[in-house]
Amino acid sequence: MLKITQFILGLFVCIWGLNACKAPLHQKDELYIVCTTGMVADAVQQIVGKHAKVVALMGEGVDPHLYKATTGDLEKLYEADMVFYSGIHLEGKMTQIFKKMSRTKPVIAFGEGLIHEDLICIDSANHVYDPHIWFDVALWAKAVAYAGKQLSQIDTVHRNSYQQNLGKYLNELHLLDSLNKVQLQTIPPSQRLLITSHDAFGYFGRAYQIEVKGLQGISTVAEFGLRDISELVNLIINRKIKAIFVESSVSPKAIEAVVKGCQSKGHQVVIGGELYADAMGAANTTEGTYIGMVQANVAKIVGALR
């Protein structure tokens, strides 16, 4: 009997020891905000400044359409005081988690801040909308303003600071939007065709008057077929397009097939670079911020198509 008691006691000490060794996710008195994509986390961080700890679950090169929460993510989400995500079914595999979690804490989608008229409708019968809202900078600014309003209502103690930070960030975003327009206008109209791995750039095209074609459709879940490739090859040849693009969060093999298809018909098209689509660049680099990623994309697109 004594041996069993000792064993159970030992087991308790072991489990307690393991938990005690684990580093806490955040300081006890600190507001802890968990976000899905880097773009969402960056915006939230800009608004809260030093008043909260903000973490992003999805890092560099991660595809949010296919992303499934890991055990570590679930720990963070359960520990969080607030959760922010992009929404409009971008994080398709996490929908159930958000639904469940919203019963116990604020779970806010940036997309909730936009009305249907703002969005690109993909399938009107089933009310499906394009989730890539961050590529129209003015539209993203609207979603950021909504997130800022929610933060100010939940954490009222820091409301003034949040509103001040939000105003400053929105000014930066509106400046970025104006600069994008000026730079992209320098591409000759006949060359304003942006071909990428998947349809992430619909809002970008609408905002900056560039025709956009993706090989893989709106979600990377869809497979591309041979028909899509031959259609794109003909379009590139007819329009004498010089460059097409790969994306940081999608496999480049489909776009490489288009380049080969053009070459076999005697038209030279190059890969104009890797665009940041559904994920930002590496942390602690310029491209690891929302503004930096947009600027990097615009510079690559203008450089290759002009």
Residues that bind Zn ion (CB under 5 A): 200, 278
Q: Which residues, at least 6 apart from 80, have a Cβ–Cβ distance to it below 8 Å?
A: 32, 33, 34, 105
**By C-beta, is 134 or 208 nearer to Zn ion?**
134
**By C-beta, is 64 or 113 nearer to Zn ion?**
64
* Least separation in angstroms between CB 270 and Zn ion: 23
Amino acid residing at 26:
H
* Least separation in angstroms between CB 238 and Zn ion: 27
Contact 248, 60 (CB under 8 A): yes
Distances (CA, A) of 23 to 18, 19, 35: 10, 9, 20
Q: Where are the alpha helices (DSSP H) in the chain?
A: 2-21, 38-48, 71-79, 95-101, 137-154, 159-184, 202-208, 226-239, 253-264, 290-305
**By C-beta, is 177 or 278 nearer to Zn ion?**
278
- Spatial distance between the Cα atoms of 40 and 44, rounded to a whole number of angstroms: 6
**By C-beta, is 169 or 203 nearer to Zn ion?**
203
* Least separation in angstroms between CB 304 and Zn ion: 21
- Spatial distance between the Cα atoms of 149 and 144, rounded to a whole number of angstroms: 9
**By C-beta, is 88 or 241 nearer to Zn ion?**
88
* Least separation in angstroms between CB 16 and Zn ion: 44
Please name the residue that has the structure tokens 């064993």. Answer: 7
- Spatial distance between the Cα atoms of 94 and 200, rounded to a whole number of angstroms: 19
Q: Which residues, at least 6 apart from 197, have a Cβ–Cβ distance to it below 8 Å?
A: 214, 215, 216, 220, 245, 246, 247, 250, 251, 252, 254, 255, 277
**By C-beta, is 73 or 278 nearer to Zn ion?**
278
* Least separation in angstroms between CB 281 and Zn ion: 16
- Spatial distance between the Cα atoms of 41 and 56, rounded to a whole number of angstroms: 6
- Spatial distance between the Cα atoms of 187 and 280, rounded to a whole number of angstroms: 24
